[in-house]
Structure 1
Amino acid sequence: MRFIPTRRRPRSRPLRAARSVAVAACAGVAAALAVAAVPASADASGHGRHRTGTVYHLDCRSGNDASPGTSPGTAWRTLDRVNRQALRPGDSVLLRRGTRCDGVLQPQGSGTAAAPITLAAYGRGARPAIAGGGARAAVFLHNVQGYEIRHLDISNTPAAPDGKARGGIYVLLEDYGTGRHYVVQDVKVHDVPGCDCLQPELDNAGGVLFKAAGSEKPTGFDGIDVSRTTVATVDNIGIGTLSQWSRREPLYPAGTNSFVPITRVHVHGNRLSDIGGDGILVQNGLNPLTERNVVDGFGVRGTQAHAGILSFNSTGATFQFNEVKNGALNPPAFAYNFDAANSGSTYQYNYSHDNGAFMAFCAVPGSTSDGAVIRYNISQNDKGMKFGTFDVPVVATGCAAPQKNIRFYDNVVYSEVAPALVGGLMNTPISYSNNTFVGRAEGSTVADPNSTFDHNLYSNVGALPPDGHAVNADPRFTRPGGGVLGYRLKCGSPAIGAGAVIPNNGGRDFFGFRVPADTPPNIGAYQGPCAKG
């Protein structure tokens, strides 16, 4: 998402151009992350509930490829032996705990949602490791479907840095049609160096990556669930979907092929750290849900700007209960991004802190975006950034193509360090209502001539924007700067009951309190009882 306010971007790199521009610490939200739901297809042991096929065992320390592999005592020895086996629905390949397998796991055959093929672990000890050694991917699912992957340790480090695209888990469908049912749960993916190469038409790098490719048979995914997985020290994308089947009117006429949506995408309860580019990216999603993830450090090896969590060319995306922190400052990195070719996106109950910026709005030539709601989020000490001579604000618009129908309400934007809290340059009018903006002691700016402001509270802000119901006062937070619990309101706060009634307000605030539907709400992300003292 290259954040360029005036220059036209190259048409040949639309998705990369779009890149350029925590679960909260309260007990209820943290508990929700800790107990992220197990998919219905798993039993208590973590293996497929519907497993009816053959169970194969792999022991890369003491197995024998000449053995049948159907018991721990007759386990196979190498990944190559697994790759030669034609797997059938309901089959399982279990790797012995405490062992390491070098090479690529590329299983053959497909399962179904009712009888998936399971890749998992057996025995006691540390999770079994697959070390790709710099291959295209350590676990490579190519033109297959119906897989569940659990309890593995996956890395893919070459002998020397080479800048090539590679993945940890890479699911690639080429001219395949619709691939169904992919579960990645409780997997550790780490140390996957590659390139900052995001274009769908090129090779891509990432920790857990799903890609729909080809040009002859419309191809996509139905049913992707990634949960309770850690992704650390990988380049390009931590967890993501990409598609070459992207052209649609009016949102993305610059795309390729016809449009094929990626349906039933759920990315939840994951922890990502030290990500070279984007943390979590969903492209071509239809009603994807990204929730209860933590992204700690993203864009850290980026050659262009990135985001912690975002969608591209998606409809009805929801992002909620996520925490994003410690994004790169140069190139600019944004915790969340309403990116190009999206419609009907909702960002709610998220926590952003210590990033370059909280939220970006960016579409590029050949695309547009229509309809976003940003509500009940908390941005704490996001810094703002420099892009050349331009001060990138905490909430930023500035790309060259228009976006419309954006509502930004009941959020807290608090920064003791950012010179600019809100800034807009062109094409993207936003309706700001019921937000709390608190700047640095010497003053910060809230300036967006294209947008409207109403019933917002401003503290340590210089010249106020036109706001017929502005509250210019200390909001009286309980402990600002001290995490999400610090943004409750003390009794006597001027924010209490000072907001505007907003239709279809979501019904609950950041902390789980009910938002009144018929009486003026509080300004900001907190609607609970005032705190004494």
Structure 2
Amino acid sequence: MSFRSLTQRGSGRGGRCRTMLRGGVSSRRRACRTRLGPTTPGLSGDQHILGVCGMGITPSSTRRNRGAWYRTRAIRALILAAGMSVGIASVVPGASAQAGSQASSGKKYYLDCGAGNDSATGTSAGTAWRTLARVNTVTFQPDDSILLRRGTTCNGVLQPQGSGTAGKPIRVSAYGSGARPAIVGGGARAAVFLRNVQGWEIRNLDVSNPGAADGTPRTGIYVLLEDYGTGKHYVVEDVKVHDVPGCDCLQPELENSGGILFKAAGSSTPTGFDEIRVSRNVVSGVDNIGIGTLSQWSRRTPLYPSGSNSFVPITNVHIFANKLSDMGGDGILVQNGVDSLTEFNIVNGFGRRATASHAAILAFNSDRPVIQHNEVTGGAAFPPSFAFSVDAANSDIVYQYNYSHDNNGPFMLLCAFTGTNTDGATIRYNVSQNDKDLLLGTFQIPVIANGCDVPVTDVKIYNNVVHSTSATALVGTLHPTPMTVKNNIFVGRPEGSTIVDTVGVYDHNLYRNITSVQPGDTHAVTGDPLFTRPGASGTAGVLGFRLKCGSPAIGAGTVIPDNGGHDLYGFRVPGDAAPNIGAYQGPCADR
């Protein structure tokens, strides 16, 4: 039985058929994605136990290897922690993409929605404007700033005009004291809408867009480029986005809903983005996509020949240290990304108002995406939701150093659909704890599910821990294309869990409470891996998968070429001697 036969989702992202189950990275790049640095600018110490703050890891923009410093800092911190439519012109009556009154370069403009005056100059706190509509009449210049007074609420839509540059962006932020200024969209297409502009930075706002739960597409912050060319330099940082009910709508050709969305649209001028940074935001109560990039410029051979318009990449995407909760659908989605980096994010609750299957963090139609140091929990069961997905039309995707736990659905889906090809997936140094398998009728969806319409090729799964004492099936595959599965620890329920994979290449894995060792795994290890504290709840549970002295997993693995250099906990992975089995490569731990 195929996954597709189980449930039909109709057309999905980019016209794909998203069924019930959506359905060799270079050594240079792997190295550059995993080097670590000494500082974590701008993040608080409790941001993320697996992320920059919790483990002392520096974003990949600062890449220097600190060896012993990193290991010490990492373990210490862990212990201490123990969418859119084509042709839309404007969402603001009277505002357009054409130039309004001209603002001089480098000015600061003030908005006080409680006590301002739209007839004033707006160039000081004492002469602040009062309404968003007044702001929307101005075409801003590079290096200008729009400052909203703290403690105030602005109703309506912010749709400013004008473009900045990377060196002189136009900034939207706050002034004064008190709570961050709020923009309440009131059910509009977007609360903050940037259309056919570039060089913008948005910080320190509270953005919501409440409305009826009627499936109407809505967005919190929406950046739309339509027949624009390549827009450059967009930053959304330290913004709260919440209460954005919308549609569970998946096709880029149609309108979409989300918290923070970037979309390339149109049909005449190839359009994309370069340099998107979304960091340190809190996104909650949002439908469809929490944070995402979307594109109508997706067609390419051989990966996605059925896409719309010729492929235009979205480059220099860094989605970093965001907290997302209560997602109606996906948490974070990168479409059309080239060398995108999604790291140090927390997704707690996804797929909660879904009509189709979703994932917490994924890429689609992307080249060499890296998804690392993220924490995912609270996924819904039905429609099936997955912590992570190796989705359609991707090449050389890497999932590494992630912690998935206590989801009501599986840890990982590998899925391509008819008319696409997905080639190259590396899944390493991740921990899946208490994630569930799912039963649809008599069909079991395992914790790691390999299969949709078309097989994913060149899959390497190594040095992971899959620990689920309630799942009937831990791994399953439906296609004749083999996965390479090495150095993993599989722990099932006490009465036994299954691995159903007749074609995979298994070697040097450890099996505990598994009904049978995989045929061909001639170096298999069976028995208790002697984790320090398996099954511990919450974020700190990742500490429990270090290895005690005497563990049969210590030194029992096989050398993996191009192994990424370090493990989940920051310890070096040997390239010239047998590594440990599992995600921990450090010395044995007492507790």
Inter-partner Cα distance in structure 2 for 1:206 and 1:462:
43
1:205 is aligned to 257
> Quick one: which of 143, 147, 154 aligns to 1:101?
154
Q: How much has 1:69 moved relative to structure 2?
A: 0.1
User: Contact conserved, 1:321 with 1:351, CA < 8 A, in 2?
Assistant: yes
User: Aligned pair 1:405/2:458, yes or no?
Assistant: yes
2:54 is aligned to 30
CA shift in 2, pair 1:27/1:214, >3 Å: closer
Q: How much has 1:391 moved relative to structure 2?
A: 1.3
User: Aligned pair 1:478/2:532, yes or no?
Assistant: yes
2:564 is aligned to 506
Inter-partner Cα distance in structure 1 for 2:587 and 2:428:
19
Q: How much has 1:452 moved relative to structure 2?
A: 1.3
* 2:194 alignment partner, SS class: strand
> Quick one: which of 353, 363, 366 aligns to 2:419?
366
User: Contact conserved, 2:294 with 2:336, CA < 8 A, in 1?
Assistant: yes
Q: How much has 1:170 moved relative to structure 2?
A: 0.4
Amino acid at match of 2:544: G
Amino acid at match of 2:171: T
Superposition CA RMSD, Å:
2.0
Identity, % of aligned positions: 63
User: Contact conserved, 2:410 with 2:446, CA < 8 A, in 1?
Assistant: yes
User: Aligned pair 1:454/2:512, yes or no?
Assistant: no
Q: Deviations over 1:133-161 (max 9, x none)?
A: 00000000011110000000000012x33
2:482 is aligned to 429
Q: Deviations over 1:79-134 (max 9, x none)?
A: 00000011111111000000000000000111110110101100000000000000
Q: How much has 1:25 moved relative to structure 2?
A: 3.6
CA shift in 2, pair 1:323/1:173, >3 Å: same
1:228 is aligned to 280
User: Aligned pair 1:307/2:359, yes or no?
Assistant: yes
Q: How much has 1:428 moved relative to structure 2?
A: 4.3
Inter-partner Cα distance in structure 1 for 2:14 and 2:450:
17
CA shift in 2, pair 1:9/1:72, >3 Å: closer
Amino acid at match of 1:75: A
1:54 is aligned to 107
For structure 1, the 5+ residue unaligned runs are 40-50
> Quick one: which of 535, 538, 550 aligns to 1:492?
550
1:354 is aligned to 406
CA shift in 2, pair 1:458/1:164, >3 Å: same
CA shift in 2, pair 1:11/1:137, >3 Å: closer
Q: How much has 1:440 moved relative to structure 2?
A: 0.6
1:47 is aligned to none
CA shift in 2, pair 1:326/1:280, >3 Å: same
User: Contact conserved, 1:4 with 1:398, CA < 8 A, in 2?
Assistant: no
User: Contact conserved, 1:400 with 1:426, CA < 8 A, in 2?
Assistant: no
1:469 is aligned to 523
1:247 is aligned to 299
Deviates more, 1:265-274 or 1:523-532: 523-532
Inter-partner Cα distance in structure 2 for 1:204 and 1:288:
21
User: Contact conserved, 1:347 with 1:375, CA < 8 A, in 2?
Assistant: yes
Q: How much has 1:401 moved relative to structure 2?
A: 1.1
For structure 2, the 5+ residue unaligned runs are 22-45, 63-103
Q: How much has 1:29 moved relative to structure 2?
A: 6.2
> Quick one: which of 358, 378, 387 aligns to 2:431?
378
* 1:190 alignment partner, SS class: strand
1:48 is aligned to none
CA shift in 2, pair 1:38/1:230, >3 Å: farther
Q: How much has 1:253 moved relative to structure 2?
A: 0.7
CA shift in 2, pair 1:427/1:283, >3 Å: farther
Inter-partner Cα distance in structure 1 for 2:59 and 2:575:
30
- TM-score in terms of structure 1 length: 0.94
Q: How much has 1:465 moved relative to structure 2?
A: 1.4
Amino acid at match of 2:580: N
Q: How much has 1:17 moved relative to structure 2?
A: 3.2
Amino acid at match of 1:517: G
* 2:366 alignment partner, SS class: coil
Q: Deviations over 1:383-407 (max 9, x none)?
A: 1112343211110012011210010
Amino acid at match of 2:578: P
Amino acid at match of 1:531: A
Aligned pairs, number: 519
Deviates more, 1:379-388 or 1:7-16: 7-16
Inter-partner Cα distance in structure 2 for 1:187 and 1:37:
21
Q: How much has 1:425 moved relative to structure 2?
A: 1.1
Q: How much has 1:379 moved relative to structure 2?
A: 0.3
> Quick one: which of 92, 107, 112 aligns to 2:165?
112
1:72 is aligned to 125
Amino acid at match of 2:146: V
1:176 is aligned to 228
User: Contact conserved, 2:165 with 2:198, CA < 8 A, in 1?
Assistant: yes
User: Contact conserved, 2:51 with 2:321, CA < 8 A, in 1?
Assistant: no
Amino acid at match of 1:94: L
Inter-partner Cα distance in structure 2 for 1:14 and 1:28:
33
- TM-score in terms of structure 2 length: 0.85
Inter-partner Cα distance in structure 2 for 1:112 and 1:496:
52
Amino acid at match of 1:320: Q
Inter-partner Cα distance in structure 1 for 2:51 and 2:12:
46
Inter-partner Cα distance in structure 2 for 1:439 and 1:433:
17
Structure 1 runs, 4 residues or longer, greater than 3 Å off: 5-20, 22-29, 35-39
